[in-house]
């Protein structure tokens, strides 16, 4: 970005800019006047309007005018070329951006229209540059996430071709192919879903429903997971009628509950509480799991970010990014509190209670 000019330098730049324009004007006008005079005298002489004894003086005057014109023309062109320098830089920057180079910047001290234009183009180049970085990071992350399950499928499929496998080995390799394919499928559908959410391509169908029942349904969908871990449920779900998108909210609950189950130790406690506030409804999902370090708490809503790598293969780091998008679409709010080694608590504040 073009650094803002310091006040002292700014004044000087403004003054210089004015002098510069005045110079262009003075030299341009001088040149034009001289040209007119030259033409008038030349035509008058050709038409014999001037006396022959005046010819010597006239020739000297014409020569002086011609010399003056040449000097004015050269000075006007030089000053004008200097004045056009920022324009040439702007054209170069636009040309570079067209070729995909967003690192180029326009350097100018101009504080007028050209300077503003240059500063705005610099801002645009900066945004395009960061979008390009995000796009490249996204591609790198997607490729990386796809690589591991694909390699597992390839390895297991190669092993399955062998004739002398025991039934147990065959089952194990087939299982590996199945789980890796399932991971790929969940990854691609999450990427697709996230892209739809980011581009506003999801329908927000609102209806009235019982929020407490809705949360119980989410827990029911994940019953086999929390039962397998032997988690103890602690539910505080008073009756709350809510008007909103049950479909989108279900995705939020499934992601938050899924994480709470995944990061909980066997036999841990999973709490879900629902509280009606004056102008919102608060839903809190807490666990007694591994927790999240303070530095990671700011990053867990970013795409592909996984703070705890011990469960890396059970997710793809897109769940909370989707939750954040949905929360923003619904005009809601989400916050996290966590204590490493002791657990985490996610609170969703839903607006518009009825």
Footprint of ligand ADP (CB under 6 A): 255, 259-260, 263, 287, 289-292, 300, 305-308, 315-321, 344
- Which lies closer to ligand ADP via its Cβ, residue 86 or residue 268? 268
- Which lies closer to ligand ADP via its Cβ, residue 253 or residue 263? 263
- Separation of alpha carbons 195 and 182, rounded Å: 20
Task: For 227-242, give one letter per residue: b (16+ CB within 10 A) or e.
Answer: eeeebeeeeebeebeb
Query: Residue 68, Cα to own-chain centre: how many angstroms?
Result: 57
Q: Which is nearest to 271 in space by CA: 281, 282, 261, 286?
A: 286
Alpha-carbon distances, residue 268 vs 124, 177, 216, 264, 344 (angstroms):
50, 31, 19, 6, 12
Closest separation in Å from C-beta 295 to ligand ADP? 12
Closest separation in Å from C-beta 180 to ligand ADP? 16
- Separation of alpha carbons 72 and 106, rounded Å: 30
- Which lies closer to ligand ADP via its Cβ, residue 115 or residue 289? 289
- Which lies closer to ligand ADP via its Cβ, residue 153 or residue 290? 290
Closest separation in Å from C-beta 317 to ligand ADP? 4
Closest separation in Å from C-beta 262 to ligand ADP? 6
Residue 280 tokens, joined: 């919102």
Residue 325 tokens, joined: 């998008």
Closest separation in Å from C-beta 187 to ligand ADP? 10
- Which lies closer to ligand ADP via its Cβ, residue 84 or residue 299? 299
- Which lies closer to ligand ADP via its Cβ, residue 166 or residue 224? 224
H or E segment and range at residue 63: helix 55-83
Closest separation in Å from C-beta 286 to ligand ADP? 8
Closest separation in Å from C-beta 290 to ligand ADP? 5
- Which lies closer to ligand ADP via its Cβ, residue 246 or residue 287? 287
- Which lies closer to ligand ADP via its Cβ, residue 61 or residue 307? 307
- Which lies closer to ligand ADP via its Cβ, residue 114 or residue 349? 349
**Dihedral (Cα; 336, 339, 340, 343), 10-degree rounding:** -80
Task: For 137-167, give one letter per residue: b (16+ CB within 10 A) or e.
Answer: eeeebbeebbeebeebbeebeeeeeeeeeee
Closest separation in Å from C-beta 6 to ligand ADP? 44
Q: Are 349 and 282 in contact (CB under 8 A)?
A: yes
Closest separation in Å from C-beta 91 to ligand ADP? 44
Which residue is nearest to ligand ADP, using beta carbons? 315
- Separation of alpha carbons 81 and 24, rounded Å: 10
Rg, C-alpha atoms of the chain? 36
Alpha-carbon distances, residue 51 vs 38, 46, 54 (angstroms):
17, 11, 5
- Separation of alpha carbons 323 and 254, rounded Å: 10
């Amino acid at each position: 970005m073009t650094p803002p000019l310091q006040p002292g330098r700014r004044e000087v730049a403004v003054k210089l800019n004015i002098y510069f324009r005045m110079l262009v004007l003075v030299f341009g006008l001088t040149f034009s006047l001289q040209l007119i005079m030259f033409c008038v005298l030349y035509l008058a002489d050709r038409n014999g309007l001037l006396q022959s004894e005046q010819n010597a003086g006239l020739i000297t005057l014409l020569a002086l005018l011609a010399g003056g014109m040449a000097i004015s023309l050269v000075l006007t062109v030089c000053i004008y070329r200097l004045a056009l320098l920022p324009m040439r830089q702007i054209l170069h920057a636009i040309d570079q951006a067209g070729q995909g180079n967003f690192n180029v910047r326009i350097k100018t001290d101009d504080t007028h229209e050209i300077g503003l234009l240059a500063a705005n183009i610099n801002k645009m180049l900066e945004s395009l540059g960061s979008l390009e970085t995000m796009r490249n990071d996204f591609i790198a992350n997607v490729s990386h996430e796809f690589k591991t399950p694909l390699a597992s499928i390839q390895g297991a499929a190669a092993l399955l071709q062998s004739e002398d496998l025991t039934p147990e080995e065959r089952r194990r390799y087939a299982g590996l192919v199945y789980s890796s394919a399932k991971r790929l499928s969940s990854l691609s559908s999450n990427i697709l879903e996230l892209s739809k959410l980011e581009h506003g391509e999801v329908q927000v169908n609102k209806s009235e429903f019982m929020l407490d029942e809705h949360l119980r349904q989410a827990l029911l969908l994940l019953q086999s997971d929390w039962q397998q871990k032997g988690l103890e449920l602690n539910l505080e779900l008073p009756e709350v009628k809510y008007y909103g998108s049950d479909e989108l909210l279900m995705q939020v609950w499934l992601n938050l509950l899924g994480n709470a189950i995944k990061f909980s130790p066997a036999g841990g406690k999973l709490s879900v509480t629902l509280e009606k506030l004056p102008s919102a409804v608060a839903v809190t999902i807490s666990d007694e799991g591994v927790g999240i370090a303070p530095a990671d708490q700011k990053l867990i809503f970013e795409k592909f970010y996984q703070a705890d790598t011990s469960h890396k293969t059970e997710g793809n780091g897109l769940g909370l990014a989707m939750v954040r998008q949905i929360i923003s679409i619904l005009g809601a709010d989400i916050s996290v509190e966590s204590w490493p080694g002791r657990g985490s608590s996610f609170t969703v504040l839903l607006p518009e209670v009825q």
